[in-house]
Structures are given as C-alpha cells and as structure tokens.
Amino acid sequence: MTFLVVALQSEARPLVGHFRLSGTDAPGPYRLYRNDRITLVVSGIGRIACAAATAYAFARAGEPRNQPWVNIGIAGHANIALGSARLAHRIVDRPTERAWYPSLVFEPPVATAEVVTVDRPELDLPGNALFDMEASAFFATASRFGAVELVQVLKVVSDNRESPVAKIDKALVSRLIEGHLESVAAILDETEALALRLDRRSPDLTEWRRTARFSVSQSRRLAELLERLEVVEKRALSPLELPRLEGAREILAALERRLRLRGAAY
C-alpha cells in the first residue's frame, strides 16, 4: 500500500480523481481516500495535524512496514516559477532547526530542493528554499514506519515574491497539483519498486505451531531456520517432512541438524 499525505482538500482533489480513489465512510478524525494500491489522507494545515494524520493513516492500515509514503503539497519560494515542482533533498524543521535528508535512490522526475517547514506562512521567502508547513513533521513521522528511502516529499510552488500567498485559492491549488500528476505517478512507481525489494514473506508457522508449543524466542528461531532452509533447499519445508518429534526444542534441533547437513556453500 502506498500512502499519500496532503494538507488540503484542494490538494487531494486531483489526486483522488487521477488515481481513482474513493472516500471511506468510516468515521474518523481525518478524511481518507483509498483504492487497492493507494491510501490518501487529508491532514489539515500544520505540523501537528500532519504528524497526527500520518500516524492515523498508518494505524488504520494495520501498521504495514516498508511502504512508500509521499507528502504532496504546495509551498512558497522566492523566485522559482509558480507551478514548478521540487522533490525535497533536505528538510529543515524551522522551530527546532532539525534537518533530514531524504534518500533519493532513484532518478528524481523533477529537480530537487531544500524545504523549510514553518509554523506560520513565510511571507519573506528568504534564501533558496521552499517553505511549507508540514514536510518536517511528515518526514519525522513516516520515517518511523520503515525504510527511509521510501519516504519522499514533493512540493509545487504556489507563491513567490511576484505572486504572494494571498493570491492562492482552492482552484489554483488543485490546478497546481494537477500539473504534476505525472511526476507523482513516477515517484509512486519508483518507491513502489523499492518497497517490492523489501517485501519479505515470513515463513508460515501455522502448521508448525500445531505440532508443538513454541515460546516467543523459539518462534523467532523457528522462523529463521525455516527461512534459511527455504533458501538452501529452494522450497518451503513442511513439518510432515520431519520424523515425529516431541516438543519445540527437538524440532529446532532437527532443523539445525538439517541445515548443517546441507552445508555452507554460497
């Protein structure tokens, strides 16, 4: 499952349409849209709302680890043209001055830039950074849910020194996001491909648990041995293939023996 986090309903609208997401009826503090591939949450403006909505989407989905997380939204910049998009290569949380550096392990579909997250709209737009109100909170939260390489922030310039923040309205926001649906799709393709590399199917222990009672640490050892045997023997092992054994300890010992016999070749 890929997760998109946006602050505004007007940012969500083009994404919901493009990816054919449906609103969920379930009551909850944040609006969610979904299909088989994507969950989109609308957080509201600001760091606290964004962190909470990100955590909420994670919990609602059953806490799946190592999934792509992308924050999409508008931002201001001193002089980058309205409607240009940037992927964050550095995110600074202005209130704390903490910094994060998203890992860009794929060819970015748009140029990259620094994003500074502030608590009040930044009217002066100093330096060469984009200014937003959510990215740092999003990144700090979503990077707890798995590999940080899957967490990305895409911002579209909505205001600059020539076109101040006061000119922004809902229709403009939707239009700006709509102009970068291809970039969003490219980021999703890339991060989903990365997530696939981390997709590990743990061995199914159900049958094994029927044959004996395994403590937590024994279950962990069992899973490790079965995983290793599956690589070595190139197929999953069933408990029926072992001679009748009494208890978890004996089973683990038998699996260890079996692994030893299979050798240590590479």
Partner 1 sequence: MASRSIARVYVETEVASRPRALEILDRLGGAERVECSRYTEVFNRRAQNFRLQKLRPALILARKHRGLVLPAPPGYGVGGRRNFYFSHMLNCVYDCRYCFLQGMYRSANYVVFVNYEDFLAAFERRLEEAPGEDVWFFSGYDCDSLALDSLTGFVAEFLPFFAERPRAWLELRTKSTQIRGLLDREPIPNCVVAFSFTPEEAHARLERGVPSIARRLAAMTELATRGWRLGVRLDPLLWAEDFADQYRRLLDRIFGAVSPASLHSVSLGPFRLPPDFYRRMRRLMPEERLFAGALETVEGMVSYPAELEREMTAFVTAELERRVPADVLFPCVETR
Note the residues at the interface with partner 1 (CB under 8 A). Answer: 89-90, 99, 101, 103-107, 112, 114, 143-144, 146-149, 194, 197-198, 200, 227-229, 231-232, 259-266
Relative orientation angle of helices 181-198 and 9-18, to the nearest 10 degrees: 70
Pick 178 or 256: Cβ nearer partner 1 = 256
Looking at this protein, which amino acid is placed at residue 155? K
Task: State the pairing for strand pair 2-6/38-42.
Answer: parallel
Q: Which residues lie below 8 Å from residue 12, measured CB to CB, with a gap of 6+?
A: 6, 31, 33, 40, 42
Pick 118 or 194: Cβ nearer partner 1 = 194
Q: What's CA 91's distance to the chain center, in Å?
A: 16
CA separation, residue 192 to residues 35, 38, 184, 188 (Å): 15, 11, 12, 6
Beta bridge partners of 152: 70
Task: State residue 221 phi and psi, 5-degree precision.
Answer: -65, -40
Q: What's CA 170's distance to the chain center, in Å?
A: 26
CB of 209 to partner 1, least distance (A): 21
Pick 230 or 250: Cβ nearer partner 1 = 230
CB of 148 to partner 1, least distance (A): 4
Pick 165 or 232: Cβ nearer partner 1 = 232
CB of 105 to partner 1, least distance (A): 4
Pick 147 or 154: Cβ nearer partner 1 = 147
CB of 25 to partner 1, least distance (A): 34
CB of 19 to partner 1, least distance (A): 24
How many other β-carbons are positioned within 10 Å of the β-carbon of residue 71?
29
